[in-house]
Structure 1
């Protein structure tokens, strides 16, 4: 969201398999339901042109020969998480910020990106087995994930809370405002597995009712539960929630307050793929280009989440 050629003991295979399962369960998206059937990209300004991304020969020379000769990068995403990745009106073409970004990385490498849809629980194992070359699906970079895959950072992001328009339940970014309420997250996401449960513990620790946590297979399903009145709030990536609100006709909005746990996010690569050095150099070019800010404006990403190529020099 590659191949890991392992020749370990049976015990280490089991451990690695468990790590892969844990990592995939922490992914941000699932493909069980398509995103809204209309594009919410900002078309009022001139679209950024991929032609401004030139081949970085240094990066291309670092590619494994098999990739360089194939001329293609197989890029996996879970297309239910607008504006990062979702299906266009034909329900076949994957569009979004991650798509544009990976197209630019591929162009800097002198390659073409081939976009493949996957479910959140199969993308990382697929990356490890060599089914894909790269995965972009709004991944937060976590220590657990870094144990099994390599990341190249391209953005920062945090979590927000979506509430019905007008906020009738008076929910804020203060977790105790959610005590006793029905709060949804996407099944397997960091929000559903870590954030919302931690909020509920704050509630009970302060003598208030626990949050009634409700998890849904797809982000779109969680949003639908909110707009239909089945839940009181949804916790997810704030940038994605803001964009999806527009696609839903502003039926819901973000609760006021600063994002929870802003953290780096990036594209994922299998550790033994031989791609990290090449992709890092290509990503450096993209982050330093006007194309990066152009696609961010196109897809409604705020300046506050954007990064510079300096992040690639940090260990």
Structure 2
């Protein structure tokens, strides 16, 4: 999952140019080239409607959270349109940020975002470091063993390809056999989908996929732009958004692969889960929920109903 930071790094095409001019190939030098340029796309700035606190929802809050008055929300802000840094390189914005703020309003709580590496978030929740997390997590059986989920979005996976898709890649694994494909470390795509595709290639007697894992999808896209990978498999919602606003790459045609629910995450068995679930069930029927999807260019087909919110 995860993609280019907007407003805090160059678009993929600019990053590729910087790499070409300097000859840099290692991650530390790539990071040094991730600087602002006047060509960086502008983030949406539409204002989302505010909501009043709901006493019935506030009554569901655990006493310690209600007393603290704050929700500490972990996120990896490298994956627009879900979460990304604003131009100040400090403020977290995106669909998840807007929805978290709306949840906080319904619960009468202030929301504080805590940046974290994606694959460190669930362990951090388990240790009590955060109250909850919103970072475009796909809800999977494996993750449900270690965390609670509350669904707010649904989407599948896609593959980012060079403009024009010259090698005709798609989410058909047979098109990826023998190719070098990037994904984010700790993501559903990197942990499950790509290893499964690789097995299918080998079972068909084709060359294995050379899977390259990166600390963030933004780094994987930089590798795509510099030609070090031939495609990047990640969440289709994020890839489609980035492809549209940057023009630096394409999202291969074919629709979402295995659409799955996306959920915010809480510690397993958290006393906070009932309150967050109830608040989300209300939020998905409210105007700010739909406004947030529209603001970040996400299709209304990716929205969910109250019945889809709870996860058992």
- TM-score of the two chains, using structure 1 as the length reference: 0.84
The CA deviation at 1:194 is 1.5
Contact kept in structure 1, 2:150 and 2:263, CA below 8 Å: yes
Aligned alpha-carbon RMSD (Å): 2.2
Look up the SS of the partner of 1:150 in the other structure: strand
Residue 294 of structure 2 corresponds to 297
Separation in structure 2 between the aligned mates of residue 30 and residue 177 of structure 1, nearest angstrom:
22
The CA deviation at 1:132 is 1.0
Summarize the Cα distance change of 1:32–1:121 in structure 2 as closer, same or farther, 3 Å threshold. farther
Contact kept in structure 1, 2:182 and 2:220, CA below 8 Å: yes
Contact kept in structure 1, 2:281 and 2:306, CA below 8 Å: yes
Pick aligned residue for 2:304 from 304, 307, 310: 307
1:285 aligns with 2:282: yes
Look up the SS of the partner of 1:257 in the other structure: coil
Residue 220 of structure 2 corresponds to 222
Paired residues in the alignment total 283
Summarize the Cα distance change of 1:285–1:41 in structure 2 as closer, same or farther, 3 Å threshold. farther
Residue 207 of structure 1 corresponds to 205
1:232 aligns with 2:223: no
> Which deviates further from its counterpart, 121-130 or 208-217?
121-130
Separation in structure 1 between the aligned mates of residue 137 and residue 311 of structure 2, nearest angstrom:
18
- CA deviation vs aligned residue, 1:40-83 (integer Å, no higher than 9, x gap): 5445xx5322x2x2212111001111111211111110111111
Contact kept in structure 2, 1:85 and 1:96, CA below 8 Å: yes
Separation in structure 1 between the aligned mates of residue 140 and residue 133 of structure 2, nearest angstrom:
15
Look up the SS of the partner of 1:185 in the other structure: strand
Summarize the Cα distance change of 1:35–1:194 in structure 2 as closer, same or farther, 3 Å threshold. farther
Contact kept in structure 1, 2:277 and 2:310, CA below 8 Å: no
Give 5+ residue unaligned stretches, structure 1: 1-27
The CA deviation at 1:293 is 1.0
Superposition map of 1:80-229 within 5 A: 80-229=78-227
Summarize the Cα distance change of 1:29–1:42 in structure 2 as closer, same or farther, 3 Å threshold. closer
Separation in structure 2 between the aligned mates of residue 282 and residue 187 of structure 1, nearest angstrom:
31
The CA deviation at 1:35 is 6.0
Contact kept in structure 1, 2:182 and 2:213, CA below 8 Å: yes
Summarize the Cα distance change of 1:84–1:114 in structure 2 as closer, same or farther, 3 Å threshold. same
Look up the SS of the partner of 2:271 in the other structure: coil
Summarize the Cα distance change of 1:30–1:310 in structure 2 as closer, same or farther, 3 Å threshold. same
Contact kept in structure 2, 1:162 and 1:234, CA below 8 Å: yes
Superposition map of 1:240-259 within 5 A: 240-247=238-245, 249-259=246-256
The CA deviation at 1:313 is 5.5
Residue 266 of structure 1 corresponds to 263
Look up the SS of the partner of 1:264 in the other structure: strand
- TM-score of the two chains, using structure 2 as the length reference: 0.85
Residue 29 of structure 2 corresponds to none
Separation in structure 2 between the aligned mates of residue 261 and residue 284 of structure 1, nearest angstrom:
24
Contact kept in structure 2, 1:77 and 1:117, CA below 8 Å: yes
Contact kept in structure 2, 1:59 and 1:277, CA below 8 Å: no
